[in-house]
């Protein structure tokens, strides 16, 4: 039994490097598929199953069951990484650690504080109109949904950039005015943005519970929608223990 679990874990890492814990448990063959909208997902197919063609991915909830074969289940995978967003990162590699102060300087938050959780990091700036749009249209509803999920395994945090001489005070003013409810820290000295190679705003990075980079990209439009659909799933927020 132990050897079978080891082989499955290796298969998951090879086919879907850096996915959430839901992709690392269970039995059967994993099949990568794409729906009509371009969303990638996988089907965990029971050994006795001959086809995964009847599976249709859904955005939310626990891994869905195929009505034609109840032993099959699947979970959406993250959108493809966009290298222009964070040139210092590589999917499947360990994410650089960091420890930063909150915007008012009263507290320090470290990436290691979220060990064992999926972590979504948004890099943003106070002068960035696209950041404000993404925060209202995507991040705010995502954060609210995550807060409503009891004991969620997803952590969300925003890191303020120093691009164009932005400051913690300016970002705090925006955050207070807009009443952003998620944790916000400031990248004093730009050490984190340099390590991650942040090249666009708003840039989002997703890190697995094991500390591995899952994806990164410009948090706008279809890419943001695909990411939100992925992060809202029970296999991310409530992965099997």
Q: How many Å apart are CA 45 and CA 56, to the nearest integer?
A: 13
Residue 72 and residue 64 in contact, taking contact as beta carbons nearer than 8 Å = no
Q: How many Å apart are CA 74 and CA 56, to the nearest integer?
A: 9
pLDDT at residue number 40: 59
pLDDT tens sequence across 200-235: 999 999 999 999 999 999 999 999 999 999 999 888
Q: How many Å apart are CA 21 and CA 210, to the nearest integer?
A: 9
Tokens representing 109 are: 């938050």
CA 10 to chain CA mean position, Å: 21
pLDDT at residue number 150: 83
- Using left for φ > 0, alpha for ψ between -120 and 50, and beta otherwise, residue 71 falls in alpha
Tokens representing 58 are: 């859904």
- Dihedral of the alpha carbons of 66, 240, 91, 137, in degrees to the nearest 10: 80
Residues forming beta bridges with residue 207, ordered by sequence position: 119, 213
Which stretches of the chain score pLDDT less than 70? Answer: 1-74, 240-241
pLDDT at residue number 72: 56
Q: Which residues of 132-161 are buried (b: 16+ CB within 10 A; e: fewer)?
A: bebbebbbbebbebbeeeeebbbbbbbbbb
**Angle of the 221-231 helix axis to the 140-148 helix axis, nearest 10:** 0
Q: For strands 40-45 and 99-102, give the pairing.
A: unpaired
Q: How many Å apart are CA 73 and CA 49, to the nearest integer?
A: 11
Task: For each of the domains in the chain, give its residue range(s) and CATH number, in order of start.
Answer: 2-76 (no CATH), 99-237 (3.40.30.10)
Residue 239 and residue 22 in contact, taking contact as beta carbons nearer than 8 Å = yes
pLDDT at residue number 43: 58
pLDDT at residue number 55: 33
- Rg of the Cα atoms in the chain: 18
What is the pTM (predicted TM-score) of this model?
0.75
């Amino acid at each position: 039994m132990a050897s079978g679990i080891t082989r499955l874990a290796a298969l998951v890492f090879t086919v879907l490097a850096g996915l959430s814990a839901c992709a690392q448990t269970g039995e059967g063959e994993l099949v990568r598929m794409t729906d009509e909208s371009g969303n990638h997902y996988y089907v965990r197919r029971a050994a006795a199953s001959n086809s995964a063609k009847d599976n249709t991915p859904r955005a939310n909830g626990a891994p869905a069951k195929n009505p034609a074969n109840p032993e099959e289940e699947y979970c959406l995978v993250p959108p493809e990484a966009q290298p222009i967003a964070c040139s210092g990162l590589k999917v499947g590699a360990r994410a650089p650690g960091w420890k930063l102060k909150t915007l008012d300087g009263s507290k320090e938050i470290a990436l290691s504080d979220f060990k064992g959780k999926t972590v979504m990091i948004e890099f943003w700036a106070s002068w960035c109109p696209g950041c404000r749009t993404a925060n209202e249209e995507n991040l705010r509803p995502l954060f609210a949904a995550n807060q409503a999920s009891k004991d969620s395994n997803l952590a969300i945090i925003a890191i303020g950039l120093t691009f164009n001489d932005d400051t913690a005070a300016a970002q705090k003013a925006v955050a207070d005015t807009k009443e952003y409810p998620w944790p916000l820290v400031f990248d004093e000295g730009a050490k984190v943005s340099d390590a991650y190679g942040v090249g666009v705003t708003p840039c989002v990075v997703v890190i697995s519970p094991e500390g591995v980079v899952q994806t990164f990209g410009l948090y706008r439009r279809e890419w943001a929608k695909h990411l939100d659909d992925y992060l809202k799933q029970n296999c991310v927020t409530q992965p099997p223990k």
